[in-house]
Amino acid sequence: MAAVDFRDNLLGISWVDSGWVPILNPGNVLDYFSERSNPFYDRTCNNEVVKMQRLSLEHLNQMVGVEYILLHAQEPILYIIRKQQRQSPTQEIPLADYYIIAGVVYQAPDLGTVISSRALSAVHGIQSAFDEAMSYCRYHPSKGYWWHFKDQEEREKAKPKTKKKEEPSSLFQRHRVDTLLLDLRSKFPPTFYQPKPGEKPIPVEVKKEPEPPTEAVKQEEREPAAKSSAPAPPSKPPPEKRARLQ
pLDDT band of residue 229 (cuts 50, 70, 90) is: low
| Tens digit of each residue's pLDDT (9 = 90 or more) over 157-169 | 776 666 666 666 6
Q: Is the pTM of this model over 0.85?
A: no
DSSP output for 94-111: EEEEEEEETTEEEEPPPH
Neighbour-count burial for 33-62, b at 16+ CB within 10 Å, e otherwise: bbeeeeebbbeebbbbebeeeeeeeeebee
User: Does residue 203 or residue 85 have the better pLDDT?
Assistant: 85
Which of 43-57, 75-89, 99-113, 195-209 is predicted with the least confidence, judged by mean pLDDT? Answer: 195-209
| Tens digit of each residue's pLDDT (9 = 90 or more) over 81-123 | 999 999 998 899 999 999 999 999 999 998 888 899 899 999 9
